[in-house]
Structure 1
Amino acid sequence: MNALGLSMIVKMGCICTRESVDVNGVKYVVKERLGEGGFSTVDLIENKGTKRKYALKRILCHSLEDQKVAMDEISYYKKLRHPNIIELVDSTFKGTADIVVNATSEAYIVLPYYRRGTLQDYLTLRSFNRNYLDVKEVLRLFSEISQAVKYLHDFAPEPVAHRDLKAGNVCLTEDMTPVLMDLGSCAPAKVQVCGAQDAQKLQDLAAERCSMTYRAPELFHVESYCVIDQRTDIWSLGCLLFALCYFKSPYDLVYERGDSVNLAVISGSVHFPEDTPFDEDVHDLILFMLKVNPSERPFIDSVIDKTRHLQNKIESVV
């Protein structure tokens, strides 16, 4: 057999052996890998019957504790219902986690697929030509994301904090509606820290699950006796609004320079570009959220009110 014939067989073999997955009796074909993190992978999958595409998040669980974390994530997908928060399509577990016999399980979470990708993807494309968004579009996107955050923070019986708000965790629909995703970092908003052990545990968890360049100062160095609340998300929203204006979090820029993000966050230093197309009111809204002391940081209702006031001001000028 010549090399060309062998090559064709290899290629055909790759097509024929494309992975299939079954989630509660529904069969899907894995099309391509969309993303990969420390704890999970995300694949593009296609329903064999309807040919509709979805995203499949797989979380490998090495212990019962890992499995509980995955179950908590699925629980948040099921109970959080808002137009700007991603919906759960289906979920299941494969295998059983048991640390004693060194077995693993895997959580399968089927989610909608957004062809446009994430807000960070969109901002990165625009950044190549420094193609700034119009201020109205910036505030529209930010306002809708803030409504999703308000829903979390007002959730009953217990408020929820996302804890990893960032441009990379916001998907965009075909009509440019922002949809908050990745609920794996969600947790009860209020955490009572009682002692050094509690503080270290929360600090380690934040380092594991909260992206450094969007992480609130109080999660870098957790005090031994304190209360952490939903205002960690407000800091992240401030970084996100900066990214809507300038394509990245202010602390992404620090990280890229090789400087200490930790020190920059703790100092609260924020540098706006000199050739900015955005006026002082937008910068004031960003700084309103980026207060190092969480007790001086606003709650989400104040952020929404200030955003609405700015939108009305811009509309009246036009």
Structure 2
Amino acid sequence: MNTLGLSIIMKMGCICSKESININGIKYLVKEHLGEGGFSTVDLVENTSTRKLYALKRIKCHSIDDQKIAMQEINYYKKLKHPNIIGLIDSSFKGSADIVVNATSEAFLVLPYYSLGTLHDYLIVKSFAKNYLETKEILRLFSEICQGVKYLHNFNPEPLAHRDLKTSNVCLSQGMVPVLMDLGSCAPAKVQVCGAQDAQKLQDLAAERCSMTYRAPELFHVESYCVIDQRTDIWSLGCIMYALCYFKSPFDVVHERGDSVNLAVISGILPFPEETPFSESIHDFMKFMLQVNPSERPFIDTVIEKLQTLRNEAESVI
């Protein structure tokens, strides 16, 4: 058989071997791999009947505890309904996880597919072009992100915290509308820490599920007796605001150098460029959110009030 014939057969084999997944009676064809995290993978899939594209998140569960965490994430998706928070299209479990060693199950979450990608992707493109966003656009994007966070923080019957806010967890829908995604770290906002064991458990969980360069100082070293609340998200918002201006979290460069992010975070020093198109009031706004002491950090309603003042000032500039 000639090389061309073998090549065609191999290509046909690839096409024929594309994975298909049935979720609650609906068949999806896997088109390509979009990405993965520590606990899940995300694929681009197509509904074979409607030809509509979706993002399929798969969470591998190796235990009953893993299954509970995945189910908690699904339940949050079902409960939370807001234009700046991603919605759940469908979900299911396959396999079974029990006390048997190596038993696994898999959670499947069908989510909207955003062809524009994430805010992280968008900022990378802007960074390569060395093209700063205009102040008005930064404040608009940030305002809509804050509306999603406000919905979480004011949720009834219990306020929630996202706990992993970062530019790669903000999708961009058509019209450049930011949408918060990945509720895998979402949890009740207020955590009462009673003793060293509680502190270590929360610290380990944060190290596992909260991205280092967006993680609040109080989650790097959790005190034995304290209350952690939704202001961990305010710190992350400060890092997102910085990234909207300068393309990365203020602590990404520290991480890339191999230096201690923990020490950089608790230092309270923000590395602003000497030459910048942004006003001192924009820098002050970031500092306002990036207070090392969580008790001095504002709640989301105060952040939004200050943000509105900045938007009004920006609109008045001709």
TM-score normalised over the length of structure 1: 0.99
Q: Distance in 2 between matches of 1:99 and 1:240?
A: 41
**Which residue does the alignment assign to 1:116?**
116
Q: How does 1:174-189 map to 2 (within 5 A)?
A: 174-189=174-189
SS across alignment from 1:204: helix
- The Cα of 1:101 is off from its aligned counterpart by 4.6
Q: Distance in 2 between matches of 1:311 and 1:288?
A: 16
Q: Which AA in structure 1 matches 2:29?
A: V
**Which residue does the alignment assign to 2:296?**
296
**Which residue does the alignment assign to 1:283?**
283
**Which residue does the alignment assign to 1:103?**
103
Stretches of structure 2 lacking an aligned partner (at least 5 in a row) = none
Q: Which AA in structure 2 matches 1:169?
A: N
**Which residue does the alignment assign to 1:21?**
21
Q: Which AA in structure 2 matches 1:47?
A: N
**Which residue does the alignment assign to 2:66?**
66
Q: Which AA in structure 1 matches 2:297?
A: R
Q: Distance in 2 between matches of 1:34 and 1:188?
A: 29
Matched-pair contact (CA < 8 Å) for 1:133–1:245: yes
**Which residue does the alignment assign to 1:234?**
234
**Which residue does the alignment assign to 2:144?**
144
Q: How does 1:207-246 map to 2 (within 5 A)?
A: 207-246=207-246
Q: Which AA in structure 1 matches 2:194?
A: C
Q: Does 1:205 align with 2:214?
A: no
Q: Distance in 2 between matches of 1:58 and 1:258?
A: 31
Tell me the matched-pair count.
Answer: 318
Q: Distance in 2 between matches of 1:266 and 1:134?
A: 30
Aligned-residue Cα RMSD (Å) equals 0.7
Q: Which AA in structure 1 matches 2:237?
A: L
**Which residue does the alignment assign to 1:268?**
268
SS across alignment from 1:97: coil
**Which residue does the alignment assign to 1:41?**
41
- The Cα of 1:296 is off from its aligned counterpart by 0.2
**Which residue does the alignment assign to 2:156?**
156
TM-score normalised over the length of structure 2: 0.99
Q: Distance in 1 between matches of 2:102 and 2:18?
A: 28
Q: Distance in 1 between matches of 2:37 and 2:298?
A: 32
Runs of 4+ with deviation above 3 angstroms: none
Q: Which AA in structure 1 matches 2:196?
A: A
Q: Does 1:85 align with 2:85?
A: yes
Q: Distance in 1 between matches of 2:182 and 2:120?
A: 14
